[in-house]
Structure 1
């Protein structure tokens, strides 16, 4: 390849991939508010990640067994890759992000994770030795600047060293997720690739946090929908179902599938829409207000993404 796009895939296919990433970012953004309700209901972050991974694995495994059971076969030379992809790409992003935000303001943790596009661009330029158009660098500067405004990182009063390291590792994990995903879609179909990645991530969590210690009693708890829907309640397990199906399975499959049509760098850039969508949903649903600075930041992020779209 000579540019950040995949030469063999052009036109409508590329636009289809970009559209898939936008929808995934929207679903992840919606999932942010739902996840906040789950966490406030008493489920620890690590347990939440464990049940997300496990639920997604079971859903995708069942789908693959019904539609194409042969696709689940793992060859010996693919095993190591799938283990790495599941742990470093799927489990890694979540665990290090949660460590970061447990020691840093959430805005700073989010900003650190979303520096992944910069790492991908540097990897493409200096490791793959591929040409990167100057507009992509300008787009990255705009996108990161916009995220700084959206996250309002200057509100953080202290910067914990371990938190900063964890946030940096989360960014590396996110970059690995995109880059390994690009390779993975070349050797496996999207469903089985995502299923096994979640499977090995689940195995990792099962070792760290044995499943028999899961707080199962929470499942029957009645939880308020919060914000403008505070008077409405639903069983805790329904929130988990929504998170697994629409906040995990659907967006992850969309992103992995999109990597068949667009490059990891562009996929990561468009993925920066997630915090913008998340802020809008949180404002509308639970009343987390957006300041003028945050709105300007969202516009700057969108401008950066639009500029990246011209860097073909």
Structure 2
């Protein structure tokens, strides 16, 4: 085996490991958010979103100052770039994060993360509309799976009942739309500046907006050791480390393979919610989760590409 082939093999293995680790940590952060929201800590979905985005945004800022100060300076001195990053952060990332956290508050981390996958189906529909074409067979199959999965999660297979609170379901669909926006919108930014810089500054911009809305200094938040650990895990592991690992995976194995491996996120969120928090998932939910993951494989493999900015 040549040195080049050996190096390529190691890079592929590193990419797979980083992508799986990033997706797993995203799922874990959802369970941590569920833990904080269900406890007596005084957190609201907006307060969790504020802490997550602002904390991770500041970590990304420190990282960029150390790794690429010249690139960061070029970004912040470009008014048009700052304006687009502000839209990405304040509309795309913020709306994605707050709607996701609201769904967790109404349901649980596993259900919220699976409903977020509807964003991939929305991306497919928007792409078809933009190209003025009909969906391909795989895309239609993926859309049918997404609808079927949402139906099973919402009703547990019984059309006469709504197993998920209606606000939770509606917020879940809103989360899918927000996810689609933050996947589609920053394409030019990512091509020009790279995913780490765009995600980092976008996270900081969204964190500032979230903090202004949440006004956490007016809340009666009380953290014990477990609560502080969960909050730190959301910021450091579930956001900063998860994005960094996932983006490294995208660099090593490409966005298509990375997006497919990223399907571990809803699995991770479901397992952590069940094993750690004792959340029970009926058989219909489990089937719905499986259908949604199959949908991710169908749609992303047929589309051939996906934004490298990642998941939650």
Shorter-chain TM range is 0.7 to 0.9
Match of 1:136 among 124, 134, 139: 139
Q: 1:273 touches 1:301 (CA, 8 Å); kept in 2?
A: no
Displacement of 1:127 in angstroms is: 0.6
Q: 2:111 touches 2:270 (CA, 8 Å); kept in 1?
A: no
Displacement of 1:262 in angstroms is: 2.6
Matches of 1:291 and 1:158, distance apart in 2: 12
Moved more, 178-187 or 61-70: 178-187
Label 1:310 to 1:201 Cα distance change in 2 as closer, same or farther (>3 A).
closer
Matches of 2:186 and 2:27, distance apart in 1: 21
The equivalent residue for 1:171 is 176
Q: How is 1:285-296 mapped onto 2 (pairs within 5 angstroms)?
A: 285-296=276-287
Q: Are 2:162 and 1:156 aligned?
A: yes
The equivalent residue for 2:4 is none
Q: 1:61 touches 1:195 (CA, 8 Å); kept in 2?
A: yes
Q: 2:27 touches 2:266 (CA, 8 Å); kept in 1?
A: yes
Q: Are 2:198 and 1:193 aligned?
A: yes
Unaligned runs of 5+ in 2: 1-9, 305-312
User: Counterpart of 2:193 in 1: which secondary structure?
Assistant: coil
Match of 2:295 among 292, 301, 304: 304
The equivalent residue for 2:34 is 36
- Cα deviation, 1:54-80, whole Å, max 9, x if unaligned, reads 110111111111121122122122112
Label 1:262 to 1:307 Cα distance change in 2 as closer, same or farther (>3 A).
same
The equivalent residue for 1:56 is 56
The equivalent residue for 1:218 is 222
Matches of 1:128 and 1:258, distance apart in 2: 29
User: Counterpart of 2:192 in 1: which secondary structure?
Assistant: coil
User: Counterpart of 2:276 in 1: which secondary structure?
Assistant: helix
Moved more, 18-27 or 54-63: 18-27
Matches of 2:148 and 2:295, distance apart in 1: 9
Q: 1:92 touches 1:173 (CA, 8 Å); kept in 2?
A: yes
Question: TM-score, normalization: structure 1?
Answer: 0.74
Matches of 2:15 and 2:248, distance apart in 1: 7
The equivalent residue for 1:283 is 274
Matches of 1:182 and 1:18, distance apart in 2: 23
Matches of 2:245 and 2:147, distance apart in 1: 24
Label 1:92 to 1:301 Cα distance change in 2 as closer, same or farther (>3 A).
closer
Matches of 2:292 and 2:200, distance apart in 1: 31
Label 1:168 to 1:36 Cα distance change in 2 as closer, same or farther (>3 A).
closer
Q: 1:45 touches 1:98 (CA, 8 Å); kept in 2?
A: yes
Unaligned runs of 5+ in 1: 1-11, 224-235
The equivalent residue for 1:87 is 90
Moved more, 237-246 or 49-58: 237-246
Question: TM-score, normalization: structure 2?
Answer: 0.74
Label 1:249 to 1:307 Cα distance change in 2 as closer, same or farther (>3 A).
same
Match of 1:206 among 208, 211, 215: 211
Label 1:167 to 1:283 Cα distance change in 2 as closer, same or farther (>3 A).
closer
The equivalent residue for 1:67 is 67
